[in-house]
Structure 1
Amino acid sequence: MTEVLGYQSFCAAGGDIGSGITRYLASLYPSHIRAIHLTDVGILRELLSLKDTEYMTKEEQLYRSRASAWFAEESAYMALQATRPRTLAYALNDSPAGLAAWITEKYVAWSGGDGDLFSHFSPEDILTNISLYWLTDSTETAAAMYRQNARTLPALTTTSVPVGLCCFPSDILPPPKSWVEKHYNLCHWTEMPRGGHFAAMEEPALYAEDVKLFFRTYRSAIG
């Protein structure tokens, strides 16, 4: 953005892995980042590891309870991709049905909250997403990211960069606002009426409008 396109400052937005990248941009290059917009702040492992719960807010305690249930029921994919991505890739690269199941179950579980996949996504969109992995033979490299991230990423440091957050109710683990306020320069908070983890794909109009609304404040400062 700065060296090739010539922007001295810019805003950044992302969700899921994109949220992590965006937060690293703000942490590493705060002088270039005017503001960041997120749909999540990752899994709050620091909150989950706290022993003293006396001063936790009710929403922080609820987050811990939901996280415990999520790890018990939904996190196996993450552990496998972080430890044995190549073994997994041999199986999925040999079976289009297996790859489709591995990917599609996440769309079912993390979107809309009702398990009705095609009320939230078109068959074409789902098949296109699966095809991106199948036709490019990139199952292993995509899964291996989990292994590499766990071993090589530096710790995120705090940043004063303004943060906007829009939370979708069916996302994996929507963060407690009280926690975000304590750890980020939270300037914008939206609780969406519907939508899940794949917000930009599932509810593009809601997502785009919130991004535009938040960044509007910082547009005149970008250059």
Structure 2
Amino acid sequence: MSRPTSDVRAFEAHATDADLDDLHARLAAARLPEPETVQGAAPGPDRWAQGVPLADLVELADYWRTGYDWRSFEKRLDRIGQFRTTIDGLGIHFLHRVSTREDATPLVMTHGWPGSVAEFVDVVDELADPQDPAAPAFHVVTPSLPGFGYSDKPTATGWGIEKTATAWVQLMGRLGYDRFLAHGGDWGSNVTTVLGGRFPAHVQGIHTTVGHAPPGLSTDGLTAVERAWAEETRHFWRQRAAYAKQQATRPQTIGYALVDSPVGLLAWILDKFAEWSDTEDGPFETISRDRVLDNVTLYWLTRTGASAARIYYESHDSLDPELRVDVPSAITVYPRDIEKYPRPWSRERYRRIVRWNAPEAGGHFPSLEVPGPFVTDLREGLAAVLAAQR
């Protein structure tokens, strides 16, 4: 391991009181639509059939204005350790939790949309310094994607998944980590796949919650469960992905609403936490209100609703169909995730799958929904990856 460079600077998150006062004033003055026409439906998915129910939105917006404590989250980020560096002209923000264990392995964890580094604040300490001395330990690096959170907003096109993966290799090198592991879900899974496929000299192996299959594979020979996964994934992209089409084609247009209206931003993001979580009647069956609001408030205060949406413009359907990953790979398919690819399909891209897991619970945000099982699964997956190196 080489020594870290001096190009990395400590960073502290601190919103001004004026920004918080403005947020509260906008929430108090919000103009809301009439209730959905399925109002009164029994608890369950049908209640959310037209999007976020008005009553749920009003209740959460009121809590955001009167009860939620952003300062607590700022302190939590600072305790983990926040830093910034500039790569290819763009400022990149990241959390860096250094393990006390001498045998710890560097690990870069990449979030997606509509997430942020807030997805990982509940798991980094246990990953870095596990209570069980027999468990593997990691030096955890969690960057904010370009245009997200406290990373800079790109001012020109080009910051897609390939360039981001290249930047992560430079980032890890600056921290002294010439060889490292990588994990990601959502867009993070795309970046992680590129890391494993393009940079085997630096990436020891990967863990991802999406085993991206190349296009055009046949369903012949698949089990009934695998066929169901394939059909669910196809249905998602055909029937439930209007948000992605909007952000991939007109991110600037939706961006005005996301940057100007906190209620609009809250509804846009809450809708995905509700639909993509392993719950029946809203995300708060498994995820705390505070953690969802940590994430939404980070978007609001950094004014990144538009810039984060542009990752779809840059990268939608951009994963190279010819890219193959030859480093050891661990793949976990959560039952309520939005993309679930059959193992035979994933094997066509990830050619050294050393561990495949399909837990009984969890959705698109496992580090928030099932943090304990998520940590266990990630450890076991990365342990299998490391064992394959020997």
2:355 maps to 188
Q: Which of 160, 165, 179 lines up with 2:326 in the alignment? A: 160
**What displacement does 1:61 show?**
3.6
Amino acid at match of 1:18: G
Contact kept in structure 2, 1:93 and 1:139, CA below 8 Å: yes
Compute the RMSD of aligned alpha carbons: 2.4
2:280 maps to which of 98, 114, 125: 114
Matched, 1:26 2:182: no
Q: Which runs of 5+ in 2 are unaligned?
A: 1-170
Partner residue in 2 for 1:46: 215
TM-score (norm 1): 0.87
CA contact (8 A) 2:277 2:365 kept: yes
How far is the alpha carbon of 1:73 from its aligned partner?
3.3
- Asked if residue 37 in structure 1 is aligned to residue 207 in structure 2, the reply is yes
Q: Which moved more, 1:149-158 or 1:177-186?
A: 149-158
Does 5-14 or 84-93 show the bigger shift? 5-14
Q: Which has the larger radius of gyration?
A: 2
Structure 1 spans left out of the alignment, 5+ residues? none
Q: Does the 8 Å CA contact 1:85/1:144 hold for their aligned counterparts?
A: yes
Looking at structure 2, the residues matched to 72 and 215 of structure 1 have their Cα atoms a distance apart, in angstroms, of 33
- Percent of aligned positions with the same letter in both sequences? 33
Kept in 2: contact 1:20–1:41 (CA 8 A): no
- Mean Cα deviation higher: 152-161 or 111-120: 152-161
**Bigger relative contact order, structure 1 or 2 (CA pairs below 8 A, ≥6 apart):** 1
State the SS of the aligned residue for 1:46: coil
Instruction: Provide the TM-score with structure 2 as the length reference.
Output: 0.51
Higher helix share: 1
Distance 1:90 1:74 in 2: 23
Q: Point out 4+ residue stretches in structure 1 off by more than 4 angstroms.
A: 151-156, 217-222
Shift of 1:219: 4.8
Q: Helix, strand or coil for the counterpart of 1:35?
A: strand
CA contact (8 A) 2:207 2:330 kept: yes
Deviation, structure 1 residue 220: 7.7
Instruction: Indicate if the aligned counterparts of 1:112 and 1:170 stay in contact, CA closer than 8 A.
Output: yes
Q: Contact between 2:251 and 2:310, CA under 8 Å: does it hold in 1?
A: yes
Q: Given the superposition, is the C-alpha separation of residues 180 and 82 from structure 1 closer, same or farther in structure 2, using an over 3 Å criterion?
A: same
Q: Confirm whether residue 216 of structure 1 aligns to residue 383 of structure 2.
A: yes
Contact 2:278/2:362 (<8 A) preserved = yes
Aligned to 1:199: 366
* Cα distance in 1 for residues equivalent to 2:318 and 2:361: 35
Q: Contact 1:109 / 1:115 at 8 angstroms: preserved in 2? A: no
* Equivalent in the alignment of 1:124: 290
Distance 2:333 2:199 in 1: 25
- The count of residues paired between Structure 1 and Structure 2 equals 217
Tell me if 1:170 matches 2:336: yes
